[in-house]
Structure 1
């Protein structure tokens, strides 16, 4: 049987993690703000459903990776507050994962936006 109280608590803990990360992590705030701007622009450019779905998946993955990166960094700091080479490697690898996917997200964004932006610019010239 489903425990609705436990389920509700699980969601509340998850939202608390998102809000805490937003408050404490500059990169997560930057990704979130850029995401809102990108989604708003996509809607203004009348993206197709498929393009919007692709965009939302990519944005969701960037934000999720940033949350995972924060969790890894906090866990490493909890385990070993002093400098340790393996701790540095773990934190750098987690940050690197976010960077790699963010680079691909930008490339995907350019591919999704280039045609609608060019059409919009051409329409303004006419």
Structure 2
């Protein structure tokens, strides 16, 4: 449990492990050998990518600074409860190009509270959550 708690803390600067850590957290009350193997795999991934992380870069104050947001969702891919997962990220900074990438300032990955009837409903919920985050 303490290792999984440390992994939750690590998701603050390593958002790409958020989904895997969240999945392991769902089984903390009755963990099995497979869950421990998943924790070890996450730890091996972190060790191999120790120099990766969030990089914040300055931008010019003379030109307008864009605010970009992206969102996506899957439709009932969790076999345990058939709920969908929404994800979004918000960037603030220079335009997307080869040399300048915007700064990631907010990200989210959350399991939706209801079981959706269609993929359109799932995508709409994801878009509504991302719009609320931007506002």
TM-score for the superposition, normalised by structure 2: 0.25
Q: Which has the higher relative contact order, 1 or 2, with Cα contacts under 8 A spaced 6 or more apart?
A: 1
Would you tell me which structure has more strand in proportion to its own residues? 2
> Whose radius of gyration is greater, 1 or 2?
1
Flag the structure with higher helix content.
1
